[in-house]
A and B are shown apart, each in its own frame.
Chain A
Amino acid sequence: MFGFGKDDTNALTMNQPHPDSLLDTGVQGVISKPLDRVDGPKKVTGTATYAAEYAIENCAHGVLVSATKGHAKIKAIDADAVKAMPGVIDVITDYDTFIRNAQQGGETEAPTQGVRTVDYFGEIIAIVVAESFEAARDAAKQLKVEYEPLDDGAFDYEANKDKAEPAPDGLIKGHYDQGDFDKAFEGASVKVDVTYTTPSQNSAAMEPHASIAVWEDGALTLYGAYQMPTSDAQQLAKALGVSQSKVRIISRYIGGGFGSKLGIAPESVAAAIAAKQLGRPVKAVMLRQQVFDATVRRSNTEQRMRLGAEAGGRIVALGHESITSNLPDEDFFEPVGIGTHFLYAGENRRINHDVVRLNWTLSGSMRAPGEAVGMVGMECAMDELAEAIGMDPIDLRKVNDPEQDPELKVPYSSRNLTRSLEEGAKHFGWDQRQKAGQRREGDWLIGMGVAAACRSNQLQQSAAKVELHPDGSATVSSAMTDIGTGSYTIMAQIAAEILGLPVEKVTMSLGDTNDPPAAGSGGSWGAASAGSAVYLAAERVREKLAKAMGVKAEDLTLKDGMAIGDNRSVPLGELVGKDGLSAIGEIKPGQQEKQYNQASYGAHFAEVGVNVVTGEVRVRRMLGVFAAGRVLNAKTARSQCLGGMTFGIGTALTEELIHDPRTGKLVNHDLAEYHVPVNADVPQLEVHFLDERDIHANPIHAKGIGELGISGAAPAVVNAIYNATGVRVREMPVTLDKLLDHLPAL
């Protein structure tokens, strides 16, 4: 996967801290600034090209066919009847090669293949290809499929949850025990023992999954909507049984991902097989319902929280035991307790994950897997503990803010939880908060809530190339992606800062596997990983410029396209020679992530109004304070947090996928019935960043931010609902029917 000419590669493995950063010594002054997105003008004019929008000659239209059984064997597909319809070219299936479900992010193998046996309602079993979308859609709808029922399907969570088994160790351990949890909990002077549930959710990115497959001389180019093209191309090659060198993925613009586009989805393989068989390009765009049914959901969770504390608030026993669901034979489990492992102190700990096997849509990563829902259990239970002790919930968190990782006993690389809580309290006016159920304005009960935010930081192997051209401009290229996160902009800013160029002089090329491989967008590692690769490439180019100037690198100043040193000032274009200069940067994780617990932190504050007549909840104000290392672009970073906080509002109040317990079918598989927050649901949110650098994380000292904003956002809203009403709802989302019976008399 990786490996370039060593001469031009500046490689760094993070085995040591990296206290010095060229981003601190650069004088161009563009890093961290709230610059407009460099891809902005294209996006606002509709000229940015998303996967389904490439003008490909002679491209046929494919519409995917979804299974209408939850668990069955396909006996026959009556292709002939629809092939006779005008415009229809063919009905294509390959029972062995079609993928049963989407792949998880970062995997290098194919996902589970084979669709003769249908394992969940909506599984993609065929593709109808026609000269027009209209003809293909009609034929796909009319296609008759004969099934042989299988009677061993498991569709009902409640009926099957007693069959849950320990999750296999993965990103975190399936089961974890430390000290003597049972004894410590038993002996604790204050105890909370409560169960929270969250439903299945869908990323609901605005752009449906889409692939255009083009074969040429035995090689496949796939224009796809994918977050991680480098590993996606490996998955696709394995699924199709072709060499990796024969698969190229292009994902220049991606209409949102939030985890749903981490691994390849069924449309990619279907389009590729159809295009190969027909000898012409095929475009396959998932219908919105298919995105819900056949890509990936966030698992439902049931979380038993047990917190045992001393009278002063110090936690002595911390239990977080979860049950989640997934398809048979899938290793992924929702890592509900991933944040619980390091967020709070407590010597005696039990953090367990069990999985029940269901014939439901694949569960996988959705924005902040683990924290997004795990923090609902953790942070609502903390609120309950504070209430039980009679302590301010911020003080309870401060008492339990540990000096070092409570399990691994290693230091934190940087941690500003307490500071986030204090700053947030100050800006939000936390001192105005009253006891639960006290504040009323007309028909509205008003309350405030708080929750901590944490997200473990990851560095992923990534490469990027930086070229400096004779005209004084630069190009940055990498198979990294921008899914709305701002990669185009922050990578240009990093290169511009180090090379002393205005950002306009940097041309970006992302989302093409022909460029240096990168980990892509996922797990909030994108900016830090690909950004560090750009840093390293630019550092090497800078060294070459110093050599060309005849000065030491540390004596060179680069600003506004000029190299300054040795009492001379020379345009960069003159220094690079007629061929220009280039270098590749490559970053790899190392010992630093073992020697330090690396994570980002923050605090959410919410004020809600609950209508005493209807039970309707409105978020009136929300504020987040975040500490995630260096902020690379204050504008795009803030937007990331706005997005995360809004996902939190959705988790708390509206988002819920409903599975039919008879078939597993997703009943509400569209954007009218699955309720993501709309404009009127979201007030003018406030975001603050703490000034922080993490020298253990990477040379740019930045940590992930895209998922930090969602971590803790939902429980802040839920805790505010309790403060407003005195009613604890432990079943997400907090819809009005769950409040209505408990509200005070009019």
Chain B
Amino acid sequence: MHFTINGQSHDIEVDVRTSLLDLCREHLGLTGSKKGCDHGQCGACTMLVNGRRVNACLTLAVMHQDDEITTIEGLGQPGNLHPLQDAFVRHDGFQCGYCTPGQICSAVGMMDEVKKGWPSHVTEDLGAAELTVEEISERMSGNLCRCAAYPNIVDAIREVAGLGDRNPNEDVGKEVAA
């Protein structure tokens, strides 16, 4: 089978039962995408397929031979971070880091969805979706984070979206004299 992942071509023989996630993790050494549940329930495996976010554990690799696939490894690398990766670091948008690649890929796809005007459950005017804090929280709720970095994830996305640059350190380190 033939795949294009992060701009690179791969010709490889795999079992037809192999999910897109397992193709990357078990056969191509791309372990950045995580397996949290293998049932599309947690979002840790989120990748971009032709720019749209998908749960890679719920789709078979064989279906994606003609697609452009982007995983977390394709977004940026240490020393060459994507703006969202950089914002996640500064805002502490993660703790254990296991859901993080999925959160970041999901955020990339989500911001594009809003740009295209796709509404969500919390969109007031269905014709004009805007990236508010409420929209971010709603649209990122398919990506579980048990460490619960949610407030920081929202702040990181907010910053990259240009929605008011809340200083990542403004509300940390505030000690009150005891």
Contacts and interface: CB of A to CB of B under 8 A. Distances in A.
B177 to A, nearest CB: 5
A647 B148 contact: yes
Range class of the B interface residue count? 35 or more
Nearest to B33: A46
A32 B174 CA distance: 11
B53 interface: no
Contacts of B31: 46, 49-50, 52-53
Interface stretch (A19-27, A447-455, A562-570, A682-690): A682-690
15 contacts: A44-B94, A44-B104, A132-B15, A132-B26, A133-B26, A138-B17, A206-B44, A256-B98, A423-B176, A484-B94, A634-B174, A671-B144, A676-B144, A677-B150, A679-B153
B90 A634 contact: no
Interface in A207-258: 207-208, 253-258
Residue of B42, B148, B178 with highest tally of chain A CB at under 10 A: B148
A37 B39 contact: no
A215 B117 CA distance: 55
Given A206-B34, A287-B38, A419 B178 contact: yes
Interface in A45-64: 45-50, 52-53, 55, 61
Interface in A159-206: 203-206
Interface string B20-55: 001001100111111111110110100000000000
A635 B178 contact: no
B41 A679 contact: no
B173 A33 contact: yes
Contacts of A636: 92, 95
A706 to B, nearest CB: 10
Nearest to B26: A133
Interface stretch (A343-351, A637-645, A729-737, A738-746): A637-645
A134 B78 contact: no
A55 B25 CA distance: 10
Interface in B146-178: 146-154, 168-169, 171-178
A510 interface: no
A208 B97 contact: no
A284 interface: no
Interface of B: 15, 17-18, 22, 25-26, 29-39, 41-42, 44, 71-73, 75-79, 81, 85-86, 88-90, 92, 94-101, 104, 133, 136-138, 140-154, 168-169, 171-178
A45 B72 contact: yes
A312 interface: no
A685 B39 CA distance: 30
Nearest to B169: A34
Nearest to A423: B176
A39 B95 CA distance: 10
Contacts of A678: 141-142, 144, 150
Contacts of A634: 169, 172-175
A652 interface: no
Contacts of A1: none
B35 A691 contact: no
Contacts of A208: 35-37
A643 B149 contact: yes
Contact of A134 (B15, B97, B142, B175): B15
Given A37-B89, A684-B154, A50 B98 contact: yes
Contacts of A574: none
Contact of B95 (A53, A133, A416, A485): A485
Contacts of A132: 15, 18, 26
Given A288-B36, A288-B38, A639 B81 contact: no
A560 interface: no
Interface string A644-688: 011100000000000000000000001110001111111111111
Nearest to A46: B32
Given A44-B85, A45-B85, A416-B178, A671 B36 contact: yes
Contacts of A679: 136-138, 140-141, 143, 145, 150, 153-154
A625 B176 CA distance: 10
Given A672-B41, A688-B174, A205 B146 contact: yes
Contact of A255 (B37, B96, B169): B96
Residue of A32, A40, A207 with highest tally of chain B CB at under 10 A: A40
A682 B71 CA distance: 27
A115 interface: no
A546 interface: no
Interface residues of A, number: 83
Contact of A670 (B34, B37, B76, B90): B37
Given A639-B149, A642-B151, A691-B175, A47 B38 contact: no
Contacts of A416: 178
A638 B96 contact: no
A672 to B, nearest CB: 4
B148 A42 contact: no
B74 to A, nearest CB: 10
B97 A691 contact: no
Contacts of A396: none
Nearest to A639: B92
Nearest to B155: A684
Nearest to B42: A671
A45 B77 contact: yes
A642 B176 contact: no
A50 B33 CA distance: 11
What are the 9 tightest A-B residue pairs by CB atom distance, in nearest-first order? A46-B32, A255-B98, A484-B96, A43-B97, A634-B173, A484-B95, A646-B148, A46-B72, A40-B89
B35 A44 contact: no
A352 B133 CA distance: 46
Contact of A627 (B104, B146, B178): B178
A41 B79 contact: yes
B141 A44 contact: no
A680 B141 contact: yes
Contacts of B36: 206-208, 255, 288, 671
A270 interface: no
A403 interface: no
Contacts of A485: 95
A43 B94 contact: yes
A533 interface: no
Contact of A635 (B32, B76, B92, B153): B92
Contacts of B172: 34, 634-635, 638, 687
A285 B44 CA distance: 16
A206 B44 CA distance: 8
Contacts of B37: 208, 288, 670-671
Given A46-B100, A635-B169, A639-B95, 12 more contacts: A41-B79, A43-B94, A44-B81, A46-B32, A55-B29, A61-B26, A254-B96, A642-B152, A671-B36, A679-B137, A679-B138, A687-B171
A253 B97 contact: yes
Interface in A686-706: 686-692
A192 B106 CA distance: 49
Given A134-B15, A676-B146, A684-B151, A635 B141 contact: no
Given A423-B176, A679-B141, A258 B26 contact: no
A258 B147 CA distance: 9
A690 B26 CA distance: 47
Contacts of B142: 678
A484 B147 contact: yes
B31 to A, nearest CB: 4
Contact of B98 (A87, A207, A625, A677): A207
A680 B138 contact: yes
Contacts of B146: 203-206, 256, 258, 643, 676
B26 to A, nearest CB: 6
A135 B172 CA distance: 49
B144 A44 contact: no
Contacts of A638: 92, 171-173
B173 A635 contact: yes
Nearest to A420: B178
B39 A288 contact: yes
A37 B142 CA distance: 25
